[in-house]
Amino acid sequence: MKNLNQKSPEFIDKILGVICLEKGLSKNTKIAYTKDISLVFEWFENKNINFLFANEKNFRELFSFLQRKNYKPSSLSRKLSSLKQFYDVLKAEGYIKINPLNNLESFKKIKNLPKSLSEEHLILLLTKAKKNLKNFEKDNSTKKLKFLRILTILEILYSTGMRVSELISLPLSDFIKINDLLQIKGKGGVYRHVAFNKESKKMIEMWLLHRSSIEKFINNKYIFPSNNGIGHITRQSIYMELSELSKSINMNSAHVTPHKIRHSFATHMLNRGADLRSLQKLLGHADISTTEIYTKVQSKRLSGLVNDIHPLNRINLKKKESL
């Protein structure tokens, strides 16, 4: 095994030069990697550990120390990445036999789920969308098209929990016959079933009937064509129409997005007794741990569940009734 001076900045620069050449890293990335590795070498030096002989335990202690120093997950992940690559080159160059960082996992950023809309807010949105449509029910103007389309989209998003990317890609051929279940192609090319309720099926039927009367949509293969009839409606168009709808009832438009409607679907389904496995299938989550994040319910709801359901509370209630 080769010998080297672990304090040598020239050596660090040499190894990083190899990484930059192999990975095509930018100058700024190289500077960041240099800082990361110099910090680690300094930490090892203070612990009297030769970095060539540092093992997995030493690195776990290092990252525990950095976590206590409140380094962000993104910063920790970059440090881990730069170190893994650094030690890969050391191994390739014959300085070490095993990369001690192979078993260390990246630091995942804790995702803050967007707040869900309340059931009341979604009912207000749907009611307003229906009112808008009713005002142009006997009209064949572009306004009727717009109001009918956004109402149908809103019904589908909320009744199925579908991603907006999945919705805009829905082919017209899937709706020759409208069933309770529809197989869609989801994230990662994985197929799953989504379920329509009676109201969403009714709106789809209305939309398809109106769509069939618009000449520029006749040869379009998507259920929701773009305004010019070429390709499908864009995400941006849906965001804009939802924003207009929310503003019309004095709701903060930033709070009404397809993703938040999906989140609302999951939250409301759980609140009303849906089981986690079924919800995982409906949402198209590959890992149930992704679905489990929706189980974070408010303390008020937990308290209410205990008061309503706990057997001791029921016993006490019966005692009061018998007095």
Q: How many CB atoms lie within 10 A of CB 104?
A: 16
| Helix, strand, coil in percent for the chain, rounding step 5 | 65, 5, 30
Q: Is 163 a catalytic residue?
A: yes
Q: Find the catalytic residue in 109, 247, 259, 310.
A: 259
Q: Find the catalytic residue in 78, 260, 262, 263.
A: 262
User: Most distant CA pair in the chain: distance in Å?
Assistant: 88
Q: Is 87 a catalytic residue?
A: no
User: Of how many residues is the chain composed?
Assistant: 323
Distance CA 274, CA 297 (A): 14
Annotate 19-68 with DSSP letters as a single string.
HHHHHT--HHHHHHHHHHHHHHHHHHHHTT--GGG--HHHHHHHHHHHHH
Q: Is 294 a catalytic residue?
A: yes
Q: Find the catalytic residue in 23, 115, 131, 187.
A: 187
Q: Is 285 a catalytic residue?
A: yes
Please, which residues have CB within 8 angstroms of residue 40's CB and are 6 or more apart in sequence?
51, 62, 79, 83
Q: Find the catalytic residue in 149, 232, 263, 285.
A: 285
Q: Find the catalytic residue in 79, 163, 211, 263.
A: 163
Distance CA 78, CA 87 (A): 14
Q: Is 149 a catalytic residue?
A: no
Q: Is 310 a catalytic residue?
A: no
Distance CA 44, CA 41 (A): 5
Catalytic residue positions, numbered: 163, 187, 259, 262, 285, 294
